[in-house]
Every structure is written in structure tokens, then in C-alpha cells.
Amino acid sequence: MAGRASENSVMPDWYLDGLEHVWLPYAQMKTLPAPLPVARTQGSRIVLTDGRELIDGIASWWTACHGYNHPHIRDVVATQLASMPHVMLGGLAHEQALRLASRLTGLLPGELNRVFFSESGSVAVEVAMKMAIQYWINCGAPTKSQFVAFKAGYHGDTTGAMAISDPEASIHALLAGILQKHQLVDLPEDDATTATLERLFAERSESIAGIVIEPLVQGAGGMKFHDASVLQRLRALADRHDTLLIFDEIFTGFGRTGSMFACEQAEIAPDIITLSKALTGGTLPLAATIATRKVFNAFWSDDPKKALMHGPTYTGNALACAAANASLDLLKKSLGCGRSPTFQLPWSEVLRPAEICRV
Ligand SMILES: Cc1ncc(COP(=O)(O)O)c(C=O)c1O
């Protein structure tokens, strides 16, 4: 490895040359401790260029749910790479995306059965918001364009997602003034907060397109847990006041809360769900926004204006979908999960000392 001495260690040339040109995430780069140079990963370990090993307790922002470099995902992606890395989904279709769509809809509860692919969680949330607003336009209720979201919630860094991510109190506070205003409320965890939400809907339901929540755990906002009854209350409110219920399971999906999807623990299903992060087992960027038949049917028309006008260039990327299909193979094998199980992870095996890789 070519390298140069830097402070107390030898750093590779690519590190010293490139650090001057990269803009790192969530960082005041002037005062940030220098990032650690990584050579490779394996299982629960991140190996640095100087040979030191880190035990990863974050799983790279909650993505690497099988540990790093799982051979099954690697082999499936390598096979896909050899035959077709990517084709656009504009006018074309391919096996990996269509197989993944059927498998996801087979695993999800309720009537969630149309999958729209994008490449990041934030974009999946933007798509969910756009779907909800246009759903009401297509249904002849164009005033329904605001969202009810919750204090301490986090849904991403693009402007639509920022606007429902507790903008005043969050990392996005500086830009709060330029964001669209939504209804930011407390979770309906008791009689008082439920009554406040009831009043809000009684007064403004004709302006509300949807309710957006991270079910069971508000992750990035501080790992705040709530009871499944909160989700049941929201389902009932959404039905009573004719609004859509959107679950952001980008963090909670794929077994993180003990069931395949967190909403299964409340025995209810949303109208739209967003998934990403562990979807590809931490290998490639992929996200999905999945809508019910009822939502999709509002777009199904002879009128071209009723179509969803969204199409990320890499939507349904074949490599990412192959990785997600391989990750589902592993989840099925190791957890025996089908629709609606609350599975028990074999914790005594998973949590062997010094091998914890999930947060
Ligand atoms: C619940 C939730 N929604 C959305 C996002 C945004 O996802 P991404 O960082 O892929 O844009 C995150 C990321 O942490 C998240 O935890």
C-alpha cells in the first residue's frame, strides 16, 4: 500500500489526497476528528488500513443486517453484474425488480401490493408524500395536501422529508423557515394527546393528506419507543377522518423490532409503507414505497394526468434488486419468516461476546 507519514501513523495516498476533496455527511469538517481509513469489512468487523479492527455496533447506519460481505449476497450480485448491471424501468422490465416486488408484497401485511423503487430512504418518503397528495387530487379532494407528523420523528434529509422531521427541533432547524408547514404533534400515547389529535382532525381533516410515523421506534430522533396501541389509534383516526396512514419502516423494517415489519405487532397495515436500509443487507442503495390497491387504483386511468410523475434514473437497479432478493433469501432461511410472524432471533448465538453488530 502506497502511503505517507501523517501525525503518528502512515496513511494511504488515496486518503491524504482525497480527503481534501470529499464533503463528509453531518459534519463540521473543520473540527471533525479525521475519519478512520477503512481497508475492508468482514462479518461484524471493520478493518482499518493499519490493521486495527473495529466491532461495528451501528451496522453502517442500520443496513448490514447479516453482517458484512455475506457470501450469498456477494455471489448473487456478482452473477447479476455479469449478465446485466442496470436497465431503466422506463418501457423495460427485468426479473430482479419484478421478483422483488412480488416477494415484498407477499411479506407485507394488508393490501400493500404496488412497489415503487428509488435509491434512498429520503426519496422513498418524498414519493410516499407525493403519492398521498396526488391520491387526493385524483380523488377530487385537492385541498388535502398537509401531513400530520410527530415530534422527534425523522424521515430524511430532502426538503419534503425534512418538513415532516420535527424541523424546529431537529438537525434541520436552520432551514425550518423555508420548509412547507405541516401539523407537528405529540404521539397519541394517552387520553390528552389523543384528544388533541382528534380535535385537529375535526377542525382540519379537509386539508390533511396523511399521517406519517415511524412505527414502534423513532430511530434517529433518539430511539424513542411507543406502544403498538398508538398505531391502532392512528389507523382508527385515519379511517374515521378519511386520511392516508403512512408508515416509514426504513429503520424498523426487516426484523429490527422482532417482527419482519414493526406494524405487524399492532396487527394493522398502513396505506403506504416506505422501506430501505436493511433491504439490500447493507450492500447497495435501494428503497421502496409500497402502496395499497386502493391508493394505486386512484392513479389507474385513461387520463395521463392521473399518472404518478416520478422516475429516478436508477429506479429498480438490477444489482440492488438482486442484493435485496438475496437478503430476503437469508432472512427467510435464518428467521423462517413468512407473512406476519413475530420471530425470535437465536440471541444466544447472535450475541456471542464481541460479535454484536446490530444497534
Ligand atoms: C425512519 C427513517 N426514514 C428515512 C430515512 C432517510 O433515509 P436515507 O438516509 O436513506 O435517505 C432514515 C435514515 O436514517 C430513517 O431512519
Per-position pLDDT tens, the chain of length 359: 567 766 667 899 999 999 999 999 999 999 999 999 999 999 999 999 999 999 999 999 999 999 999 999 999 999 999 999 999 999 999 999 999 999 999 999 999 999 999 999 999 999 999 999 999 999 999 999 999 999 999 999 999 999 999 988 888 889 999 999 999 999 999 999 999 999 999 999 999 999 999 999 999 999 999 999 999 999 999 999 999 999 999 999 999 999 999 999 999 999 999 999 999 999 999 999 999 999 999 999 999 999 999 999 999 999 999 999 999 999 998 766 544 444 555 544 544 544 443 43
Residue 176 is placed in which grid cell?
A: 425550518
Q: Which of 26, 119, 155, 286 to mutate for ligand 1's pocket (most ligand atoms within 8 Å of CB)?
A: 155
3-state secondary structure 212-266: EECCCEECCCCCEECCHHHHHHHHHHHHHCCCEEEEECCCCCCCCCCECCHHHHH
Tell me what pLDDT residue 339 has.
Answer: 46
Distance between Cα 156 and ligand 1 center (Å) = 5
Q: Is the pTM of this model over 0.95?
A: no
Q: Which of 63, 122, 172 to mutate for ligand 1's pocket (most ligand atoms within 8 Å of CB)?
A: 122
Tell me what pLDDT residue 7 has.
Answer: 64
**158: helix, strand or coil:** coil
Among residues 254, 148, 155, 262, the alpha carbon closest in space to that of 208 is found at: 148
Q: How far apart are CA 95 and CA 87, in angstroms?
A: 11
Active site residues: 26, 154, 248, 277
Contacts of 319 (CB under 8 A, 6+ apart): 77, 80, 81, 85, 86, 284
Task: Give the β-pairing of 146-150 and 112-118.
Answer: unpaired
Element (H, E) at 138: helix 121-138
**339: helix, strand or coil:** coil
DSSP state letter for 340: S
DSSP state letter for 302: S
140 by Cβ neighbours in 10 Å (0-12 / 13-18 / 19+) ranks as exposed
Helix axes 318-335, 71-83, angle to 10 degrees: 150
Contacts of 282 (CB under 8 A, 6+ apart): 59, 60, 63, 64, 65, 66, 68
DSSP-assigned letters across all residues of 24-84? -TT--TTTSPPPPPEEEEEBTEEEETTS-EEE-SSHHHHT-TT-BT-HHHHHHHHHHHHH-
Q: How far apart are CA 42 and CA 17, in angstroms?
A: 26
Is the distance from the beta carbon of residue 49 to the nearest atom of ligand 1 less than 6 Å?
no
Distance between Cα 121 and ligand 1 center (Å) = 5
Tell me what pLDDT residue 358 has.
Answer: 40
Among residues 46, 29, 87, the alpha carbon closest in space to that of 317 is found at: 87
Shortest-distance Cα residue to atom 8 of ligand 1: 121
Distance between Cα 171 and ligand 1 center (Å) = 13
Which segments of 134-193 are extended strands (E)? 146-150, 183-185
Among residues 124, 87, 88, 115, the alpha carbon closest in space to that of 285 is found at: 124
DSSP-assigned letters across all residues of 72-124? HHHHHHHHHHHH-S---SSS---HHHHHHHHHHHHHSSTTEEEEEEESSHHHH
Is the distance from the beta carbon of residue 211 to the nearest atom of ligand 1 less than 6 Å?
no
Tell me what pLDDT residue 349 has.
Answer: 53
Question: Beta-carbon neighbour count of residue 284 at 10 Å?
Answer: 20
Task: Report the atom number in ligand 1 closest to the C-alpha of 287.
Answer: 10
Phi, psi of 55 (to 5 degrees): -95, 120
Tell me what pLDDT residue 169 has.
Answer: 86
Tell me what pLDDT residue 4 has.
Answer: 72
Tell me what pLDDT residue 347 has.
Answer: 46
Tell me what pLDDT residue 102 has.
Answer: 98
Is the distance from the beta carbon of residue 280 to the nearest atom of ligand 1 less than 6 Å?
no
Q: Which of 63, 123, 150, 154 to mutate for ligand 1's pocket (most ligand atoms within 8 Å of CB)?
A: 154
